[in-house]
Amino acid sequence: MHLCINPKCSYPDDPNNSNRERCQHCGSQLLLENRYRVINLVSEEGFGRIYEVDDRGTTKLMKVLLINDVQGVSMFQREAAVLSQLSHPGIPKIAQDAYFTFLPHDRPSPLHCLVLEKVVGLSLEDWLQHQLQHQSQPLSQEQAVSWLKYIVEILDQIHHHLYFHRDLHPRNILLTPEGRLVLTNFGCGREIFHNYLVKVRSNSSGYESGYGSDYEPQRDRGFLERSQQGSSEVNYPRNQEQDYALVPGYTPPEQAKGRAVPQSDYFSLGRTFVYLLTGRSPEDFMEDPRTGELLWQHRAPHISPAFTDVIDYLMATLPGNRPHNSQMIFLRLSTLDYAPPEPIGEDLLVPPESHLHSFPEKYVSEMPLSENRWHSLSKRESTERALLRARVIKRRQQFNYADLWQQKERRRRRLKMPKPILTFLLGGLIATSTIVLLGIVTEVISPDWVYQVERQFIWQRGGK
């Protein structure tokens, strides 16, 4: 059966239209661009439809925009432009001439069409619902790390071509039967024009950071510096077009205000993995009123603190506190290779040699260190160096090697009270204790008792 895509056609799925050149009800062309025949309506939602089309024996998908709104057409054309430049197994493929317009019979304005690869699979949202029905645990850490690396590779490809997605959530990520993840719906992707691309190099790492296409140095002077410092008073450069993709729980704060930047994709990615690891929408969790961080960790007890920190890093409230690029994410994920360690004997753990050889020899000690000794070292030097010095650590009460790697940073982050207040309270406690002790001593040492002590001393010296 061949369908007519004219929205005003009275009988678009008439079986008698098969093998016809034109629809016998509205007179519109049925063979589009002399190659595409519409064979099935897949979905109809929002302002468009998705059809299955036959392209000379190959089944593909065709998106049709039913409106001629300037902004809607711009987003539709942007999706075609983005996909035509990208080449990755996790991104739907399209041909260079996949975008075209079609003018139905007796319609004043054309329909905008985009033909792309048909990806067979479930969205991660549907996959997780199926997973929860058959297994109690939503997603294992091993699988989560693998998926996270793969999606970051896709985002790296997108950002490398000066675009960012802006609509990343579980419904827009498909899982194929072969286990391949595919990122879809690039209609909200935004271009980062060369004229407005700003590169920031960190003094310690040298990583580069690209910011949004609406950034104008003269207008928004100091924006990048404040965002990199994690300031809470950053005035983000505002996008002139309103964001269509606002998904509660997944849209970052700056994008909700129309000021999306490439780091907005990382925020949505982190929220997506919160959903996959807990089985709950990010909206179901409370946020720390002081920091704005999502309080979700208690719902994922099977996840190590090290990986939890990576997810929190992606979801930082301020864009400047998130990864500047994909290399920074891969660097953080590489530390997860330390956990779990390989056991040697019954009660010894040894860090992987490959990582030890990458550090200067002066940071590596051959002498085994106990757990308490490791804690002592970690207080005087960086956690990383202390970990490397502890070439062999005794296992005691399921002593977790991965927990050690992150415990110093986590202990600092969990400290609720500012340091000056702690110092003041500690000083007050010491002063109060001293006063109480002096009062007790004064009460015990009476004048009569002192007189008796003096008399005893004089008698022992032979005095009278």
161-201 tens-digit pLDDT: 777 777 889 998 999 999 999 988 765 545 443 333 333 33
Considering only CA atoms, give the Rg of the chain. Answer: 32
Measure the CA–CA gap between 255 and 265, rounded to whole angstroms: 10
Mean pLDDT over 334-338 rounds to 70
CA angle (404 as vertex; 401, 405 as ends), nearest 5: 95
Poorest-pLDDT segment among 2-6, 123-127, 395-399: 395-399
Q: How confident is the model at residue 346 (pLDDT cuts 50, 70, 90)?
A: very low
Q: Which strands make up the sheet holding 393-394, listed edge to edge?
A: 342-344, 348-350, 393-394
Q: What mean pLDDT value characterizes the chain?
A: 72
The structure tokens 């953080």 sit at 332
Domains 15-116 and 122-333 agree in fold = no
- What tokens appear for 355 in the block? 């990582």
Find, among 233, 89, 252, the residue nearest to 165 by Cα: 252
Measure the CA–CA gap between 192 and 200, rounded to whole angstroms: 15
pLDDT score at 92: 86
pLDDT at 321 over 60: yes
Question: Which CATH number is 122-333 given?
Answer: 1.10.510.10
Instruction: Say if residues 4 and 12 touch (Cβ distance below 8 Å).
Output: yes
DSSP for residue 363:
G
Instruction: Say if residues 421 and 429 touch (Cβ distance below 8 Å).
Output: no
Mean pLDDT over 410-437 rounds to 73
Q: How confident is the model at residue 323 (pLDDT cuts 50, 70, 90)?
A: very high
Find, among 194, 186, 160, 149, the residue nearest to 325 by Cα: 160
Domain boundaries, the chain: 15-116, 122-333, 339-413, 423-460
Q: How many CA atoms does the CB half-sphere of 104 hold within 13 Å?
A: 20
Q: How confident is the model at residue 159 (pLDDT cuts 50, 70, 90)?
A: confident
Residue-wise over 374-387: b if at least 16 C-beta within 10 A, else e?
Answer: beebbeeeebebbb
> Prior bond to 447 cis, omega within 30?
no
pLDDT score at 106: 80
pLDDT at 314 over 90: yes
Instruction: Say if residues 100 and 124 touch (Cβ distance below 8 Å).
Output: no
Find, among 66, 47, 63, 56, the residue nearest to 114 by Cα: 63
Find, among 33, 111, 102, the residue nearest to 66 by Cα: 111
CB atoms within 10 A of CB 17: 22
pLDDT at 202 over 90: no
The structure tokens 């970052």 sit at 252
Find, among 216, 210, 251, the residue nearest to 236 by Cα: 216
Measure the CA–CA gap between 250 and 410, rounded to whole angstroms: 24
Give me the residues paired with residue 99 across strands.
Answer: 114
- What tokens appear for 142 in the block? 């091993």
Question: Beta-strand (E) ranges in 141-222?
Answer: 163-164, 173-175, 181-183, 190-191
- Give the Å distances, CA to CA, from 268 to 82, 188, 230, 379: 19, 13, 19, 35
The separation between the first and the last C-alpha atoms of the chain, rounded to the nearest angstrom, is 131
Instruction: Say if residues 197 and 212 touch (Cβ distance below 8 Å).
Output: no
pLDDT at 413 over 70: no
Mean pLDDT over 355-366 rounds to 40
Poorest-pLDDT segment among 2-6, 127-131, 386-390: 386-390
- What tokens appear for 298 in the block? 């208690």
pLDDT tens digits, 31-77 = 999 999 999 998 886 678 889 999 988 999 898 988 888 888 887 88
pLDDT tens digits, 213-262 = 333 333 333 433 444 444 333 343 444 444 455 788 898 888 888 788 88
What is 15-116's CATH superfamily?
Answer: Phosphorylase Kinase; domain 1 (3.30.200.20)
Q: How confident is the model at residue 397 (pLDDT cuts 50, 70, 90)?
A: very low
pLDDT at 88 over 80: yes
Measure the CA–CA gap between 162 and 232, rounded to whole angstroms: 27
pLDDT score at 150: 95
19: left (phi over 0), alpha (psi -120 to 50) or beta: left
